[in-house]
Amino acid sequence: MDTNREQWGSKLGFTLASVGAVIGIGAIWKMPYIASKAGGGSFFIIFLLITFIVVLPILIGEYIVGRASQRDAISAYKVLAPKTHWNWVGKLGVLGSILVLAIYSIVGGWIIAYIIKALTGAVSHIDEGQLALQFGLTTANSATAIAGAAIFILLNIVIVLQGVNKGIERISKITVPILFILLIFLTILSLTLSNAVEGLAHFLKPDFSAINSKTIILILGQSFFSMSVGISLMVTYGSYLNDDISIPKVSAFIALLNVLISMLVAVAIFPALFSFGVEPYADSGILFVVLPSIFNRLSFGSFAFVVFLVLFFIATFSSSLSLLETAVAPFVKRLGSRTFATWVIGGIALLIAIPAALSFGSWSNFTIFGFTIFEVIDYVASNIILPLGALLTALFVGFRLPRKLLLDEFTKSSNLGKKTFFIWLLSLKYIAPIAIILIFLSAIGVLPF
């Protein structure tokens, strides 16, 4: 055990940092679309079940790997399984973290640009067609796209340079409560729209006829990605945990908050969409074109849109901090200092982000197998690295680690007994891997749904 390793200052700080890590892009622009396709209320019922039965066991497993080893995402597997190749799970996670960070930096740059546009009135009082044109011009502007991504990554570097306790934990104690406050404000505002309550009730009414194999796969994928399992992020966060925290209890609390936030996002967005007869879809346009057009029709709409953009920025930024920390931690000792490691990894992420950002503008005609650079990076990270990393983590924890170690970590600082432990282990070893394999095979087109 690394006795000199930095640790979280408090249970609250760790919990808020973890919540910040799981609230990202997918919860805001993918969730409304998937929920609408999966029968509204029935989506949340199945989402809740899958989160606790399938995804939560892997989240607990990642925390256990981190705390038991007290090492970074790569070294953790070397400590727990020496002289094996299991450390490639950590390497895969670090690669995935850098790729996802590059994607987040591009979207974060767009948000920064739009906050400026919203404050200056550039996107106020114009129709949806003009908003679509404005969004196209923003993403196609190479200077704006690169500058936005660079500013976003620089902000990440500034926080991560301060370390876990003084950097990530301290900023999470500020940003995550603000995120909740803004989300509640938007929820209340949305519910004041005409026919909003009726529209929300219609949406939340479970429609199990909309549930089929395809929608189940969509919900599985949304649950995995929204909890950030599969890229060793929680292995890294778990390595800063002390023995006073019950991993299963805090993991269940984080999972519950994730479901709650997803529901709040739905309540904040769907009344507005349905009040104006707009269909949700899984694309960045819902944030930068559709929602602004709706806000423009409301009293104080410009102010509400700024609030929404700040909310979205906080969600994106809090998630990106965990991504950068996961990628930086393995190189702190290797490169001699946290400062040098943070700048190097941040620089690499920016170098990846630049061509991906340009794929919306000057490099839009450059494709790989018909996909732009942005689409390739997004596909590799979301559809390959995430599910593969989650699968390998479940197999490693379930079949490779000693049962005594798992039992000790699972029951530490809690009154949970062996019965709960064996239920968790059963889910981790068998239910979760089967679910992940279904997602993976569906994503690559092997399964016909």
Looking at residue 330, its pLDDT comes to 93
Helix (H) or strand (E) holding 197: helix 196-204
Dist CA 356 CA 373 (whole Å): 5
Mean pLDDT of 88-98: 94
DSSP three-state, residue 198: helix
User: How far is 34 from 297, CA to CA, in rounded Å?
Assistant: 26
More confident residue, 99 or 131: 99
- Residue 7 phi, psi dihedral angles, 5° rounding: -130, 160
Work out the burial of residue 188: count CB atoms within 10 Å of its CB; fewer than 13 is exposed, 13-18 middle, 19 or more buried.
Answer: exposed
What is the number of structural domains in the chain? 1
CATH number for the domain harbouring residue 381:
1.20.1740.10
Return mean pLDDT, the chain.
85
Question: Considering the domain boundaries, does residue 449 fall inside one?
Answer: no
The alpha helices in 281-417, defined as continuous H runs, are 285, 291-295, 301-328, 338-358, 373-379, 386-395, 403-411
Cβ neighbour number for residue 39 with a 10 Å cutoff: 21
In a domain, 5, yes or no: no
* Dihedral angle of Cα 266, 270, 272, 275, to the nearest 10 degrees: -160
| Cα–Cα distances in angstroms (integers) from residue 201 to residues 40, 166, 442, in the given order | 10, 44, 32
Report the alpha-carbon distance of residue 118 to residue 302 in Å, rounded: 7
Confidence band (pLDDT; 50, 70, 90) for 5? low
| Residue 3 in domain | no
pTM of the model: 0.88
Q: Does residue 154 sit within a domain?
A: yes
pLDDT digits (tens, 9 = 90+) for 145-188: 999 999 999 999 999 999 888 888 888 888 888 888 888 887 88
* Contact residues for 291 (Cβ-Cβ < 8 A; gap 6+): 269, 272, 305, 308
**368 — phi, psi (to 5°)?**
-120, 110
Q: Is the dihedral of CA 108, 110, 116, 121 positive or negative?
A: negative
**Cα distance between residue 269 and residue 359, in whole Å:** 29
**In the block, which residue shows the tokens 């799981």?**
22
Residue pLDDT, tens place only, 392-445: 999 999 999 999 999 999 998 887 878 899 999 999 999 999 988 887 777 666
* Residues facing 371 on adjacent strands: 368
Q: How many CB atoms lie within 10 A of CB 403?
A: 11
Task: Determine the Cα–Cα distance for residues 224 and 230; give it in Å rounded to an integer.
Answer: 8
368 strand-pairing partners: 371
Q: What is the reported pLDDT for 10?
A: 82
433 occurs within a structural domain: yes
| Domain assignment present for 448 | no
Instruction: Note the pLDDT of residue 58.
Output: 94
| 355 inside domain | yes
pLDDT attached to residue 409: 93
Contact of 78 with 71, CB cutoff 8 Å: yes
What average pLDDT does this structure show over 66-71? 93
Domain membership of residue 282 as a residue range = 11-443
| Beta carbons within 10 angstroms of residue 5's beta carbon | 13
How many helices and strands, by DSSP H and E, does the chain display? Answer: 24, 0
Q: Is 120 exposed, middle or buried (0-12, 13-18, 19+ CB in 10 A)?
A: exposed
Model confidence pLDDT, tens digit, residues 313-353: 888 898 899 999 999 999 998 898 999 999 999 999 999 99
End-to-end CA distance of the chain: 46
Q: What is the pLDDT of residues 20-39, one digit of tens each?
A: 887 777 667 667 667 777 77
Q: Is residue 1 part of a domain?
A: no
Cα 147 to Cα 109: distance, rounded to the nearest angstrom: 7
- What is the per-residue pLDDT across 358-403, written as a single tens digit (0 to 9) for each? 998 888 888 888 889 998 998 888 778 888 899 999 999 999 999 9
